[in-house]
Amino acid sequence: MIQQAARGFRLGRIMLISAALLVIGILIYRSTSDGGGAETAELASATGGQKSVSELEALTSENPDDANAWQQLGAAYFDEGHFAKAADAYDRATSLTPGSAALWSALGEARVMASDRDPMPSEAAFAFEKALTIDPKDPRARYFRAVKRDLTGDHEAAISQWLSLLSDTPADAPWHDDLVRTIEQVGKINKIDVASRIDAAQKQAPPAAAPSASLPRAAQAIPGPSQQDLARASAMRPDDQRTMAEGMVERLENRLAGDTSNLDGWIMLMRSRMALEQPDRAAKALKDAVAANPSKASYLRQQAALLGIR
């Protein structure tokens, strides 16, 4: 049970990261498509930066009905390992924006991580089911629904649900490889043959985002956002978009401090900084990446050049 919960915790963290990077991808998509446009101008001119936890606490105190502020505070608490506080913040955000599947699934994950003994508290399961009621395709909620089945001992059902998620997951989705590994591990532990089923699910999956001739190669790995994703991002104020994007990029940068060999992460950081029109910080990311991975310096510089980083 504990080992199974640990697997859920690990991939849950990864899926939260992937959700954050999807929003970054949306903003990058918007800033590079159609030659820029009015939305790009608004994004580029917006002000604001990464806020500290204390600043976000003050912001929610001053604006208690601002769901976005509570969401940012929840993410900040989560990143610092204060999972109970993150759950409280996400709980407040869902009360203000009850129709957001992403908020409900984030709340569920925070409740899972905040639990010392129960790997799937009933309150967390409720949040995941709420998310799936709103959006049956929410990947984080679907993943944890399968975790719940695995914890009850119904490993076959859990694997089937993870395979269903995999069949909806493009090969270039950030959580794809970890999802495959989870299915393989649960199959191996419980002596369930999954190899052919994984292959079948991957063949059913949507195609990876088609490379665009207008984008450098290093930017082509970003999954293309759906129309629903774009609509959600469009509904946010430009300054909120900017603040959220910068906050997620800062958190990515902090994670790389503890995972310096993650080349894809460094490239994501560089292209995110360029998308936010921060060439100096993109250049610093390149310098830091090369210093941490001298044997990959040529590759990193090549990818940086494709992004226009010198």
List domains and CATH numbers for the chain: 2-216 (1.25.40.10)
Instruction: For the full predicted model, state whether its pTM sits above 0.85.
Output: no
Where are the alpha helices (H) located in 46-173, listed in sequence order? 53-62, 67-79, 83-96, 101-114, 122-134, 139-151, 155-167
Return the higher-pLDDT residue of 41 and 107. Answer: 107
Is-contact 113 94, C-beta < 8 A?
A: no
Return the higher-pLDDT residue of 14 and 176. Answer: 176
Q: Rounded to whole angstroms, how far apart are CA atoms 293 and 288?
A: 9
Q: How many residues does the chain have?
A: 310
pLDDT at 91: 97
Where are the alpha helices (H) located in the chain, listed in sequence order? 2-32, 37-45, 53-62, 67-79, 83-96, 101-114, 122-134, 139-151, 155-167, 176-189, 195-204, 227-234, 238-257, 263-275, 279-292, 297-306
pLDDT at 231 over 70: no
Residues of the chain with pLDDT > 70, as a percent, come to 71
pLDDT at 202 over 90: yes
Distances (CA, A) of 267 to 55, 235, 238: 29, 28, 25
Residues of the chain with pLDDT > 90, as a percent, come to 34
Nearest to 115 by CA among 130, 105, 125, 129: 125
Virtual torsion, Cα 245, 21, 81, 136, nearest 10 deg: 110
pLDDT at 19 over 60: no
